[in-house]
């Protein structure tokens, strides 16, 4: 990369304005992240996170997705996760409901606008339901000390409960709105990603500070953490950049009575098309049995209490069974989500419409079948990579017993799984800035070798 090209960022008034607007909106988000929900007991939340197990694992996941706002339970405690959930639900419904699939295939641009509109609409009830569920789950995990007193639709508490739900829902929609403003007036198409990115990055100094505060182990733990972080970043960049270029022949252009020669092109298929979504799916499903069992852990019936304890031990995030299942589910969800996304793009019919063809493959359905076969092959290394990233804390604790499971999970959740988001956002941001610079005439800017 030619670092001298960075001076062009401030040469163009338009690019400079977009960068300053992005930084301003991210600063507003980080300030709003410190506005607490009325009546929340932060001490109870700290005890849940410090206790580990299923509760600590779930809180850690939500804290990652919300950009560190769960740890102080601000009005942005859900971050943009309800929007992501709504987006995933609609994407999964498209191949199931024929009418939706026809809408996306007949006019992809209008179909995308329809998806965006209903994602916003669905995000509102999803945010309200998640606010209720999140508070109830945290109250059940807090060991008898609720994070919010008298929460529920009971006489005398209805008004305060509605106020809390509305404030948390409004906080989520405010975060989504800031993300849209960034995409519109700042760095294009990066708003929501930068919102999550800002929260993850803001936690890294505190994690490094915690390691440096450990006087007994910091002499070897700090350099080891830096080394592992650099290796993970290199691996993520390598895999995220990996793609298979499928050769495609496009029809030539007609000029008068003549037809030009066919144009050779490529169709790039990414090794990791699913991104971070499989990790979210897998961890959410794996922690659910333990969260459900926590409601019966204090049962007066002995066999119910024993069963609940067993389930909590298996799915609590500290057993070998949990990590093995986590790896398997991440790999499985990577294939599933990649197939769903690829089926929606319907390259077979789209290439047929423009007259393009893969050499040696018939147009239409045979092309789609061939591309599915190629995609399955290249998705395998990407799925195994995601699975390895997901269970990295467990692998590190096996290699270095002193680096226990709970400590490894709390730190490497940011350094491995979180870095998938960080590196992906940084890469996309560089490409967007590169496109902006080229648009303004700086063709040699940000040249990546």
pLDDT digits (tens, 9 = 90+) for 212-225: 776 666 677 777 77
Do the domain assignments include residue 445?
no
Q: Give per-residue pLDDT as tens, 250-292.
A: 886 665 566 567 778 888 888 888 877 787 778 777 777 776 7
**Alpha carbon distance 416, 428 (integer Å):** 18
Neighbours of 319 (CB within 10 A): 15
Residue 444 within any structural domain of the chain: no
Residue 447 counted as domain residue: no
pLDDT in tens, 54-102: 556 666 666 766 666 777 788 888 888 788 888 888 877 887 888 887 8
pLDDT of residue 3 exceeding 60? no
Do the domain assignments include residue 449?
A: no
Closest to 198 (Cα-Cα) out of 65, 77, 74, 71 = 65
Which residues form the domain of 74?
Answer: 3-439
Write out the H or E segment, with its range, that includes residue 255. strand 254-255
CB 281 within 8 A of CB 337: yes
| pLDDT on residue 320 | 82
Mean pLDDT of the chain: 78
**21: in domain:** yes
Distance from the Cα of residue 234 to its chain's centroid: 19
Please give the average per-residue pLDDT across 386-415, as a whole number: 66
Does residue 446 form part of some domain? no
More confident residue, 382 or 296: 382
- 95 lies in some domain: yes
Q: Are strands 258-259 and 263-270 parallel, antiparallel or unpaired?
A: unpaired
Mean pLDDT of 299-311: 81
Measured in Å, how far apart are the chain's first and last C-alpha atoms?
6
Calculated CA dihedral for residues 146, 147, 152, 158, nearest 10 degrees: 130
Name the least confident of 184-198, 282-296, 361-375, 419-433. Answer: 282-296
- Total domains in the fold of the chain: 1
For the ranges 53-62, 91-100, 329-338, 354-363, the lowest mean pLDDT is seen at 53-62
Report the C-alpha gap between 362 and 2 in whole angstroms.
44
Q: Which residues contact 380 (CB under 8 A, 6 or more apart)?
A: none
pLDDT digits (tens, 9 = 90+) for 173-216: 999 999 899 988 888 877 888 888 887 777 777 777 767 776 66
CATH number at residue 267: 1.10.3370.10
Whether 448 is in a domain gets the answer: no
What pLDDT, in 10s, does the model give residues 372-383?
899 989 999 889
Contacts of 172 (CB under 8 A, 6+ apart): 76, 78, 79, 80, 81, 82, 83, 123, 127
> Of 5-9, 41-45, 66-70, 242-246, which range is least confident?
5-9
């Amino acid at each position: 990369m030619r670092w001298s090209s960075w001076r062009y960022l401030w040469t163009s008034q338009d690019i400079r304005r977009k960068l300053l607007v992005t930084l301003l909106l991210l600063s507003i988000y980080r300030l709003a992240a410190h506005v607490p929900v009325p009546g929340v007991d932060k001490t109870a939340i700290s005890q849940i996170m410090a206790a580990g197990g299923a509760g600590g694992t779930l809180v850690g996941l939500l804290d990652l997705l919300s950009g560190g706002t769960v740890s102080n339970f601000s009005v942005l405690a859900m971050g943009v996760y309800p929007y992501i959930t709504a987006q995933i639900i609609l994407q999964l419904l498209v191949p199931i409901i024929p009418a939706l699939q026809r809408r996306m295939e007949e006019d992809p641009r209008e179909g995308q606008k329809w998806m965006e509109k209903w994602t916003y609409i669905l995000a509102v009830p999803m945010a309200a339901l998640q606010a209720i569920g999140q508070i109830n789950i945290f109250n059940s995990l807090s060991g008898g000390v609720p994070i919010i007193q008298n929460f529920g639709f009971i006489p005398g508490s209805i008004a305060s409960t509605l106020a809390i739900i509305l404030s948390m829902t409004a906080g989520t929609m405010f975060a989504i709105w800031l993300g849209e403003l960034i995409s519109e007036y700042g760095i294009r198409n990066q708003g929501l990603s930068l919102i999550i990115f800002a929260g993850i990055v803001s936690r890294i100094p505190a994690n490094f500070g915690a390691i440096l505060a450990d006087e007994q182990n910091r002499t070897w733990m700090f350099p080891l953490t830096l080394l592992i972080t650099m290796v993970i970043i290199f691996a993520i960049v390598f895999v995220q950049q990996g793609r298979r270029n499928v050769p495609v022949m496009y029809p030539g252009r007609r000029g008068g009575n003549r037809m030009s020669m066919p144009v050779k092109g490529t169709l790039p298929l990414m090794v990791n098309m699913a991104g971070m979504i499989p990790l979210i799916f897998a961890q959410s499903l794996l922690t659910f049995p333990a969260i459900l069992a926590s409601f019966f852990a204090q049962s007066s019936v002995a066999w119910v209490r024993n069963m609940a304890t067993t389930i909590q031990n298996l799915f609590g995030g500290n057993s070998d069974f949990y990590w093995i299942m986590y790896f398997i589910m991440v790999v499985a969800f990577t294939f599933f989500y990649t197939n769903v996304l690829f089926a929606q793009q319907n390259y077979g019919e789209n290439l047929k419409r423009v007259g393009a063809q893969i050499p040696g493959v018939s147009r239409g359905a045979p092309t789609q079948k061939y591309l599915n076969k190629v995609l399955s092959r290249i998705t395998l290394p990407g799925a195994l990579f995601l699975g390895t990233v997901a269970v990295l804390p467990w692998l590190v604790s096996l290699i270095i017993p002193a680096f226990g499971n709970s400590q490894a999970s709390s730190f490497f959740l940011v350094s491995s799984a979180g870095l998938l988001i960080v590196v992906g956002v940084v890469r996309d941001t560089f490409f967007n800035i590169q496109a902006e610079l080229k648009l303004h005439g700086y063709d040699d800017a940000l040249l990546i070798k």
